[in-house]
């Protein structure tokens, strides 16, 4: 264990930049996480390569370990890939026309109603249009939803979908409706007839937005579907449904990357209110599957505030860093959870045997107990502790004299080492001690 600690300290001491080895090791885990989240293999390969170039030689962030720095950079990168374009609907014409397209069962009809509800709640006059004439139940479904929301539904029998859509625009204009949401038919698979119908409809009504509704549960296949719809009909954005299910959301990253269209909303349940704005950083966390670690990184970043930093700096300069300060640092570590629980959250460190990490936790508790058994004077100047006091401290902390000696020796060595360093480096080590 001591060797491990010494090694870790050496690493932190000498290393202010991310090395290739660090980058590769973390990337191996990230790659696995992305594949597990069902991100397209080629996308994973590309991102891996780009990240590698970005990571190596990057400065390790002040309050973070190399591992945390890397995960933080990757999270930011994924967030950017997912959402570097505006994901809001910019309503700039009247009527503003939205066409929802997608394969059968993806959630088009439900999403039409959800979107209508959202826009109505913002004071818009919405008109729903039922253009899925192939399944009688589909028109009924939209009518039921419309009734529930008190939003009119335009439909027409024995008319081609393209013509229904076109007529609905006239109805909207005549009835003061400023947003038109068109529900369209889907097939079990993408087929040419469906595409042709959508192309004709698009040409007829010239919608402001053509949004592809994608079931996030279908995984890899989503990429092909999105590609086909974009090539044939042309889409302006995407809505991912069923994000409440346990899909990790890799399809969002793949599609954003391959098709390049913005994700506008996500569906998060069967209820009509279950439509959310798309937050790229949240989805990036979800795809990484490292929510806990990202929380940890946030915590670590906020761990040492500036005032405290200045005080520590002063102390280090004057050689006044005491066992009490040491204890405070340890407490901070413990506030973040036990070392065991922290390590458990970090996939890359799973290799460390749990026995070792438990030992680490026990060691931390032991050190805390020992320091707490000292008097104030002793904590300020450990050199006054004599043999009899050592025995008392050992007894008071439920340890033995050997442990007390070991701690004092470690503290002495740490102090010596810090004297030899410039203050910034020393501070860096302090902050990273526990991590
Ligand atoms: P369409 O064939 O594309 O019009 O799909 P529907 O709107 O009829 O939806 C198909 C099924 O998916 C229905 O049972 C919906 O309740 C369900 N659904 C749609 N969106 C969501 C969602 O975000 N979460 C969940 N859990 N179910 C959804
Ligand atoms: Mg439908």
pLDDT (tens digit per residue) in 275-334: 998 989 888 988 988 777 777 777 777 655 556 666 766 776 677 778 888 787 666 666
Mutational test site, ligand 1, from 107, 108, 185, 275, max ligand atoms within 8 Å of CB: 107
> What proportions of the chain, in percent to the nearest 5, are helix, strand and coil?
60, 10, 30
Count of other CB atoms within 10 angstroms of residue 37? 21
Judged against a pLDDT cut of 70, whether residue 22 lies above it is answered with: yes
Tokens found for residue 105: 């069962």
- The bound ligand whose nearest atom lies closest to the alpha carbon of 110 is 1
What is the C-alpha separation between 205 and 165, in angstroms, rounded?
A: 7
- 204 alpha carbon to ligand 2 midpoint, in Å? 21
What is the C-alpha separation between 152 and 149, in angstroms, rounded?
A: 9
What is the C-alpha separation between 277 and 87, in angstroms, rounded?
A: 8
Q: Strand 275-277 relative to strand 263-267: parallel, antiparallel, unpaired?
A: antiparallel
- pLDDT for 349 equals 47
Q: Whose CA is nearest to atom 27 of ligand 1?
A: 270
For residue 238, what are the CA distances in angstroms to 77, 184, 354? Answer: 20, 15, 44
Ligand 1 lined by 241 (C-beta under 6 Å): yes
- 200 alpha carbon to ligand 1 midpoint, in Å? 26
- pLDDT for 346 equals 47
Ligand 1 lined by 107 (C-beta under 6 Å): yes
- pLDDT for 418 equals 64
Ligand 1 lined by 244 (C-beta under 6 Å): yes
For ligand 1, what atom is nearest to the CA of residue 132?
4
Q: Whose CA is nearest to atom 5 of ligand 1?
A: 107
- pLDDT for 60 equals 83
Taking the whole predicted model, whether its pTM rises above 0.80 is answered as: no
Ligand 1 lined by 267 (C-beta under 6 Å): yes
Q: Strand 126-130 relative to strand 153-154: parallel, antiparallel, unpaired?
A: parallel
Ligand 1 lined by 274 (C-beta under 6 Å): yes
Residue with tokens 């032991």: 366
Judged against a pLDDT cut of 90, whether residue 151 lies above it is answered with: yes
- pLDDT for 304 equals 53
- 154 alpha carbon to ligand 2 midpoint, in Å? 15
pLDDT tens per residue across span 80-117 = 999 866 677 889 899 999 999 999 999 999 999 999 99
Tokens found for residue 426: 């020393």
For ligand 1, what atom is nearest to the CA of residue 213?
3
For ligand 1, what atom is nearest to the CA of residue 105?
2
- 108 alpha carbon to ligand 1 midpoint, in Å? 7
- According to the CATH classification, is domain 96-277 in 3.40.630.30? no
283-299 CB burial, b ≥16 within 10 A, e <16: bbbbbbbbeebbebbee
DSSP 233-252: T--SEEEEE-TTSS---HHH
- pLDDT for 231 equals 96
127-141 CB burial, b ≥16 within 10 A, e <16: bbbbbbbeeeebbeb
Q: Where are the alpha helices (DSSP H) in 183-304?
A: 192-205, 221-232, 250-258, 280-288, 291-303
- The bound ligand whose nearest atom lies closest to the alpha carbon of 103 is 1
What is the C-alpha separation between 404 and 408, in angstroms, rounded?
A: 6
For ligand 1, what atom is nearest to the CA of residue 268?
23
Q: Whose CA is nearest to atom 12 of ligand 1?
A: 107
pLDDT tens per residue across span 367-395 = 889 999 999 999 988 999 999 999 999 99
What is the C-alpha separation between 30 and 131, in angstroms, rounded?
A: 43
- 99 alpha carbon to ligand 2 midpoint, in Å? 13
Confidence of residue 343 (pLDDT cuts 50, 70, 90): low
Longest dimension (CA), the chain: 101
249-267 mean pLDDT = 94
Domain 305-435 class in CATH:
mainly alpha
Q: Which residues are annotated as a binding site for GTP?
A: 102-109, 183-187, 241-244
């Amino acid at each position: 264990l001591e060797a491990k600690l010494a090694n870790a300290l050496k690493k932190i001491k000498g290393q202010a930049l991310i090395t290739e080895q660090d980058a590769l090791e973390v990337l191996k885990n990230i790659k696995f996480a992305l594949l597990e989240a069902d991100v397209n293999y080629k996308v994973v390969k590309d991102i891996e390569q780009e990240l590698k170039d970005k990571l190596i030689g990057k400065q390790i962030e002040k309050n973070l370990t190399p591992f945390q720095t890397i995960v933080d950079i990757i999270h930011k990168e994924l967030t950017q890939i997912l959402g570097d374009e505006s994901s809001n609907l910019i309503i700039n014409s009247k009527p503003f026309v939205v066409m929802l397209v997608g394969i059968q069962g993806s959630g088009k009809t439900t999403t039409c109603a959800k979107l209508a509800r959202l826009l109505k709640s913002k004071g818009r006059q919405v008109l729903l249009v039922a253009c899925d004439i192939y399944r009688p139940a589909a028109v009924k479904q939209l009518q039921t939803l419309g009734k529930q929301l008190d939003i009119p539904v335009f439909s027409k029998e024995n008319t081609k979908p393209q013509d229904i859509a076109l007529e609905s625009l006239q109805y909207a204009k005549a009835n003061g409706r400023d947003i038109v949401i068109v529900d369209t038919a889907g097939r079990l698979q993408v087929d040419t007839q469906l595409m042709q119908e959508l192309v004709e409809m698009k040409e007829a009504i010239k919608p402001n937005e053509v949004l592809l509704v994608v079931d996030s549960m279908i995984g890899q296949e989503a990429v092909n579907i999105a590609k086909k719809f974009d090539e044939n009909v042309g889409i302006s954005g995407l809505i991912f449904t069923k994000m409440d299910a346990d899909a990790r959301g890799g399809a969002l990253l793949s599609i954003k990357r391959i098709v390049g269209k913005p994700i506008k909303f996500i569906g998060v349940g069967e209820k009509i209110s279950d439509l959310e704005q798309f937050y790229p950083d949240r989805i990036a966390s979800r795809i990484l599957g490292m929510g806990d670690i990202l929380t940890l990184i946030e915590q670590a970043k906020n761990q040492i505030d500036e005032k405290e930093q200045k005080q520590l700096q002063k102390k280090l300069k004057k050689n006044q860093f005491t066992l009490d300060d040491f204890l405070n640092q340890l407490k901070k570590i413990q506030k973040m959870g036990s070392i065991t629980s922290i390590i458990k959250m970090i996939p890359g460190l799973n290799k460390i045997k749990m026995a070792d990490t438990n030992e680490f936790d026990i060691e931390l508790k032991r050190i805390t107990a020992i320091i707490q058994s000292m008097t104030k004077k002793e904590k300020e100047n450990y050199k006054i502790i004599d043999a009899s006091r050592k025995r008392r401290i050992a007894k008071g902390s439920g340890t033995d004299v050997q442990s007390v000696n070991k701690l004092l020796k470690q503290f002495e060595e740490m102090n010596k080492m810090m004297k030899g360093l410039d203050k910034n480096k020393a501070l860096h080590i302090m902050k990273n001690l526990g991590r």
